Amino acid sequence: MVAVIAGAGRGLPPPIRQDEIWSGYFAAHYQGPARALAQRIFANAGVVTRHAAVSPLLEDVSQWPTARRMERYLVEAMPLAKEAAGAALADAGLPAGELGLLAVCSCTGYATPGLDILLARDLGLAADCRRLFVGHMGCYAALPGLSAVADAVTVHQRPALLLCTELASLHVQAPTVETGQIVAHALFSDAAAAVVVTPGSGGYEVVRVASLTDPATADHMTWDVTDLGFRMGLSPRVPEVLASHVGGFVTELLAGAGIGLDQVDGWAVHPGGPHILDVVERELALPGEALADSRGVLADHGNCSSPTVLLILERLRKLGRRTVVAMAFGPGLTLYAAVLHHRPPTHPLTPPIMS
């Protein structure tokens, strides 16, 4: 028996155009030499539209203490999480009470009782439904989450739901000349995305999941809890490190799945930024259109951290892509990837009509 992605859903806050968020907030947020740098970064981020549960056009959270941000996190995250989870269950045609596992990924907020417990209550999960919370893994969290969920489904033969919810808008920082922080402000967005994984056929089979961590570069990407929210640290060397690993990593991933690069017709590559996608495209010698959906999600939604790869996967599923590589990167530096292959539903044989 295999584990397949049988349904998907998402929840998005109201959209904001990138040029509006620049002119309406960040143009005044940054002053002096930092302003010209920030304007160039915002203009070249590859983002046209973003989503903000807490819009900087309406509320300036840059001086909020972390406690206040965490209180707001739960208020804003729950409706998005319920929308995404409910849509995924409906898409899979599965009642919530049949779930054997609910896994939640989030690095932008913490609360107890958390999203997992409150969703179990509001969605009507069974009392014996197990829960797993994956925190602070960042942009690649959906893939270890998917791996854990697929393993559980295979072993226990019960459906599971994976939910990724992030509210980066709660972590706007005070003005700085630090390039990495400006890049974070130019890219990150809010979203919730969910998938239902079931035993059997009819969806994307989780064929293989792999990871690679380079601990020597652990300081290249950080997400620190401070008194004024969570602060991103981002080294300009991240693309260089990614370039040194991604080719061999993907070669081994595909070899383990028994397929060649030419058999992959869908790429769900996390758009950490336009340069990241350029590096992956170059190192894998992909055709120009291979990462069009990754670039499209970046343009339409920004970098939503952990939900982003699921948003790309949803696009690829609607396009009918059969063999997909989903890949994301984050603190570690860590590369995570999964090979997914579409399996058509199988139907039991209809018994003959006896006369």
For residue range 80-105, list pLDDT tens digits in order: 999 999 999 999 999 999 999 999 99
pLDDT at residue 350, rounded to an integer? 41
Residue 269: C-alpha distances to residues 125, 134, 169, 212 (Å)? 32, 20, 23, 15
Q: How many CA atoms lie within 13 A of 97 on its CB side?
A: 1
Digit-coded pLDDT (tens) for 235-291: 999 999 999 999 999 999 999 999 999 999 999 999 999 999 999 999 999 998 999
Angstrom distance (rounded) from CA 99 to CA 119: 12
pLDDT-derived band at 354, boundaries 50, 70, 90: very low
For the ranges 17-21, 61-65, 341-345, the lowest mean pLDDT is seen at 341-345
Digit-coded pLDDT (tens) for 183-207: 999 999 999 999 999 998 899 999 9
User: Which residue do the tokens 């406690």 mark?
Assistant: 67
Choose between 345 and 301: higher pLDDT.
Answer: 301
Domain boundaries, the chain: 3-201, 204-343
Q: Classify domain 3-201 at the CATH superfamily level.
A: Thiolase/Chalcone synthase (3.40.47.10)
Give the chain's mean pLDDT. Answer: 95
Tell me which residue of 255, 256, 252, 217 sits closest to 234, measured CA to CA: 217
| Percent of the chain's residues with pLDDT above 90 | 93
Angstrom distance (rounded) from CA 306 to CA 329: 10
Digit-coded pLDDT (tens) for 40-78: 999 999 999 999 999 999 999 999 999 999 999 999 999
Indicate left, alpha or beta for 275 from its phi (over 0: left) and psi (-120 to 50: alpha).
alpha
CATH topology of domain 204-343: Peroxisomal Thiolase; Chain A, domain 1 (3.40.47)
Equal fold, 3-201 vs 204-343: yes
DSSP state of 248: H
Residue from 105, 107, 129, 139 carrying the catalytic annotation: 139
DSSP state of 188: B
pLDDT at residue 33, rounded to an integer? 84
355, pLDDT greater than 50: no
- 139 a catalytic residue: yes
